[in-house]
Amino acid sequence: MGRFSAWLVLLIVACSSYGLAEEGEDQTGHYTNTWAVEIHGGPDVADLLALDHDFVNLGQIGNLEDHYLFRHKDVPHRSRREAHHHTKRLGDDKRIQWVAQQVGRDRSKRGPIPQQPRQSDNPAPLTFIDPYWDKQWYLHDTRTSTNLPKLDLHVLPVWRKGITGKGVVVAVLDDGIEKDHPDLKDNYDPDASYDFNDNDDDPQPRYEETNENKHGTRCAGEIAMAANNSQCGVGIAFNARIGGVRMLDGVVTDAVEANSIGFNIQHVDIYSASWGPNDDGKTVEGPEKLARAAFEKGIREGRGGRGSIFAWASGNGGSNGDNCDCDGYTSSIYTVSISSASQQGRSPWYGEKCASTLATAYSSGEYKDQKISSTDLHHACTDSHTGTSAAAPLAAGVLALALEANPDLTWRDVQHLIVWTSEYDPLSSNPGWFQNGAGLWVNSRFGFGLLNAEAMVDMALTWKTVPEKTICEVRLENFQPRTLGNGEEINIEMETDGCQGDSHVGALEHVQVKTTIDYTRRGDLRIVLTSPSGTQTTLLDTRRQDKSQMGFQDWPFMSTHTWGENPQGKWTLTIEDKSDHAENNGVVEDVVLILHGTPEQPAYQSGGRVYTDYNRVQDDRNVDKFAAKPAPASAAETAPAPESEDRVPISEPVDSADSVKIAKTPAKETEFLVNWQDRLAGDGSEFNPENSDPFQPAEPEADTFMDGGDLRPWEAFKYLHRQMKSPTRPRHPAQAYYKPSPLYIRDPSLDIRDPSLDIRDPWPSQNALGESEADLVNYYLQLLGYDP
Ligand SMILES: *[C@@H]1O[C@H](CO)[C@@H](O)[C@H](O)[C@H]1NC(C)=O
Ligand SMILES: [Ca+2]
Ligand SMILES: [Ca+2]
Ligand SMILES: [Ca+2]
């Protein structure tokens, strides 16, 4: 290309970035709701001009003096069209030297991070000979078409920088670790391992027939399976050292928890925990005195004073109507609470909502979605690890990469990094997103969004430790206990200046509301906190199964949703009972608002968070791979049509004991089997007890989050199960007795118990199916001759 045409290209680009192009269509990016402006005279002048023109001044852009980022609230955060009139209005103001609407572009860095040159537009593929590598869709993009959404945690670019977890130690607090597993033994670290169930230093799991103690080994592999050794897969931090603290295979006491949480805190950097109180939708429990003390000691003294990192699963009780606000481990300010997103970028059926979740990692979803691959007991591998159990270790692995990039990060730095780099875009199709007063997108199902390993590591590399933490407690003088009854709501207003003085909080991190409420039926209460910026956070949602009369005793509800906001002004706490239980009543005894944060805004926030189009910006795929592979046909497309609409009893004898084909299947049941995963994604609220036909859709509720969940899954499943259970067919191990796990382990597949027993509905009010049921449906599909 000659010099002249190069100039031409530059000129066109310049025009469109100044917003002067005739048509705002832009093939390579999208317009955001932010404008960069140049204004002389200082930040006060900038604030004034922002006000004049109906913008919010998000502050100086990085270290560029006289440059500010303005946001307009009436402009969509993402649009293909330029907002000409706003640009023009700013441009026409003589006090504004320069203006440009910001466009989400094909860059690999975000916000105030200085842009580094890309190594190559089409980097060489990183391939591994490990047999499960191809199944690790969440580490490298396995989609078959560029039209599909990007599908990974953006780990490959970090590995390309040579960052693989070296020098970082992770301990999995669980039911043990198979330390001699061929894919774990090289990274196994005895100093990060202990057995608090048997009080010895060998965390090897206890083996028994149902392999119940596979959980810890599965979680460990996700983090630190060795790379390119022909064994299983590749851990996210495959050069990290990994240990196991065996503590779930026995009586779990406060002391056992405290021992585990506080184990070897100068050696272990990251603790990964995928357990917590029962997810039954009626429990309110948190760490007791010892475990609380262990957390506090860990963050104060662990890692040479920089603080232990705790990656915590947010819980799997979604289908029980559970809410992680009632789980004091995930809602601790010291834990990094992690939720799951399915391969489809959806909140899975087991996901819990709460205000304390920080971010999200991929995990299992519906039946067709791929699960998580890892090491398994007996030196085996698995491709079916599930639930938030599987999400938290992925986060632990990502954090290990960040700690290798910058070992000086404190426990608070780590949370700031997560808040600032997690991605809203790949999960944006889910309901519940809102932008808080600091411009951050947040959702009670996902926290600040999907983890982005590359963005986090890049930001960690040049990170400046955030200022010392301050805590501002807001108490109402002369607070009189307030009564609450059915159908009522009370509003408690709390005015604060953010504690001017030594404990001044000017920029928020966590917010806690510590309260004591006596109430006749706890599950009917809903609590919402409104910040001075207008951010409304649900601190507690109703839980239909929670009939407890225990209320809340000094319970610290916790929210991350107002992160980055200035707390000065009026906070409102709304407590309501809108149930149909007329007899309900109680008293709000006490309320304390606890604001955690820093006196000044941390420097990194000064330019405001700039959101970009994840799919375009983060596209590090090797484009060639999309050329050859045809998209796999779905089961529904390849399945033969049912031979007849007649209802033929499924228990009709099969050809022979060896054959797993059956001749005819009632159409309705076949349809259910083939399509069930598309139809059962509801959260159970569509359950229609009036409806006796399990295959008859219930009336869907208008504002219920559903993926077309219009059946009564458990009813339909039980019916099918009865039909399919013929003595002439081989028995599937999952044709077993299902029982909610009394253990704390967050893995639905562990609910399979005694295989000699018949199936029973463990959660009569639950509608969604678990992974065990998924396995069975899979098996039934095989029986029917389909290849699921
Ligand atoms: C893994 O090993 C194979 C064969 O030895 C090699 O071609 C490949 O480059 C290796 N991958 C990495 C990431 O080192
Ligand atoms: Ca032992
Ligand atoms: Ca391996
Ligand atoms: Ca829970």
The reply to whether ligand 1 has any atom less than 6 angstroms from the CB of 129 is: yes
Distance between Cα 191 and ligand 2 center (Å)? 14
User: How high does pLDDT run on average in the chain?
Assistant: 78
Instruction: Tell me which of 129, 134, 156, 231 to substitute to probe ligand 1's pocket, judged by most ligand atoms within 8 Å of the beta carbon.
Output: 129
The reply to whether ligand 1 has any atom less than 6 angstroms from the CB of 128 is: yes
Numbers of helices and strands, H then E, in the chain:
16, 24
Q: Is the dihedral of CA 323, 326, 329, 333 positive or negative?
A: positive
The reply to whether ligand 1 has any atom less than 6 angstroms from the CB of 228 is: yes
Residue 159 in tokens: 């590995």
DSSP state of 605: G
Question: Would you identify the CATH topology of the domain 470-601?
Answer: Jelly Rolls (2.60.120)
Beta partners for residue 242, in sequence order: 170, 188
**CA neighbours within 13 Å on the CB side: how many for 661?**
7
The reply to whether ligand 1 has any atom less than 6 angstroms from the CB of 133 is: no
What pLDDT score does 66 carry? 85
pLDDT under 50: residue ranges of the chain: 1-28, 63, 105-121, 617, 622-665, 679-712, 727, 729, 733-768
Out of 389, 531, 559, 749, the active site residue is 389
What pLDDT score does 365 carry? 80
What pLDDT score does 350 carry? 85
Question: Which residue matches tokens 């200046």?
Answer: 497
Specify the 3-state DSSP secondary structure of 753: coil
**Superfamily per CATH, domain 3-104:** Peptidase S8, pro-domain (3.30.70.850)
Q: Considering every ligand atom shown, identify the ligand nearest to the alpha carbon of residue 331 and give its number.
A: 4
Residue 386 near residue 372 (C-beta atoms within 8 A): yes
Distance between Cα 263 and ligand 2 center (Å)? 16
Q: Considering every ligand atom shown, identify the ligand nearest to the alpha carbon of residue 337 and give its number.
A: 4
Distance between Cα 558 and ligand 4 center (Å)? 14
Residue nearest ligand 1's atom 11 by CA: 128
Residue 234 in tokens: 């590749």
What pLDDT score does 108 carry? 20
What pLDDT score does 772 carry? 57
DSSP state of 750: G
What pLDDT score does 766 carry? 37
DSSP state of 369: S
Q: For residue 126, which atom of ligand 1 is closest to its CA? A: 13
Where in the chain are all domains bearing CATH 3.30.70.850? Answer: 3-104
Sequence-ordered list of residues with C-beta below 8 angstroms from that of 386, at least 6 positions apart, any chain: 363, 364, 371, 372, 747, 748, 749, 771
Distance between Cα 240 and ligand 3 center (Å)? 13
CA distance between the termini of the chain = 52
Residue nearest ligand 1's atom 10 by CA: 128
Where in the chain are all domains bearing CATH 2.60.120.260? Answer: 470-601
Instruction: Tell me which of 228, 229, 239, 622 to substitute to probe ligand 1's pocket, judged by most ligand atoms within 8 Å of the beta carbon.
Output: 228
Q: How far is CA 135 from CA 302, 331, 338, 480, 649, in A?
A: 36, 32, 22, 59, 38
The DSSP H or E segment spanning 402 is helix 387-405
The reply to whether ligand 1 has any atom less than 6 angstroms from the CB of 9 is: no
Distance between Cα 242 and ligand 1 center (Å)? 23
Residue 716 in tokens: 């339909």
What pLDDT score does 236 carry? 98
Sequence-ordered list of residues with C-beta below 8 angstroms from that of 130, at least 6 positions apart, any chain: 183, 225, 227, 228, 229, 230, 231, 232, 233, 234
Beta partners for residue 540, in sequence order: 527
Residue 199 in tokens: 């009080």
- Per DSSP (E only), the strands in 209-332 are 241-246, 270-273, 309-313
The reply to whether ligand 1 has any atom less than 6 angstroms from the CB of 160 is: no
Residue type, 540: L
For residues 219 and 229, what is the distance between their CA atoms, to the nearest angstrom?
19
Residue type, 220: A
pLDDT tens, 678-728?
544 443 333 333 333 444 443 333 222 222 233 445 555 655 555 555 545
What pLDDT score does 241 carry? 98
Closest CA to 141 of 157, 130, 165: 157
Distance between Cα 217 and ligand 4 center (Å)? 22
The reply to whether ligand 1 has any atom less than 6 angstroms from the CB of 126 is: yes
For residues 588 and 488, what is the distance between their CA atoms, to the nearest angstrom?
13
Q: For residue 159, which atom of ligand 1 is closest to its CA? A: 13
Residue 91 in tokens: 């441009």
The reply to whether ligand 1 has any atom less than 6 angstroms from the CB of 64 is: no
Q: Is 215 a catalytic residue?
A: yes
The DSSP H or E segment spanning 555 is strand 552-559
For residues 761 and 763, what is the distance between their CA atoms, to the nearest angstrom?
6
Q: Which CATH number fits domain 133-466+610-617: 3.40.50.10310, 3.40.1190.10, 3.40.640.10, 3.40.50.200?
A: 3.40.50.200
The DSSP H or E segment spanning 434 is strand 434-435
Out of 174, 325, 541, 683, the active site residue is 174
Where in the chain are all domains bearing CATH 3.40.50.200? Answer: 133-466+610-617
Strands, sheet with 67-71, edge to edge from the N-terminal-most edge strand: 56-60, 67-71, 30-39, 96-104
The reply to whether ligand 1 has any atom less than 6 angstroms from the CB of 229 is: no
Q: Is 389 a catalytic residue?
A: yes
Distance between Cα 246 and ligand 2 center (Å)? 8
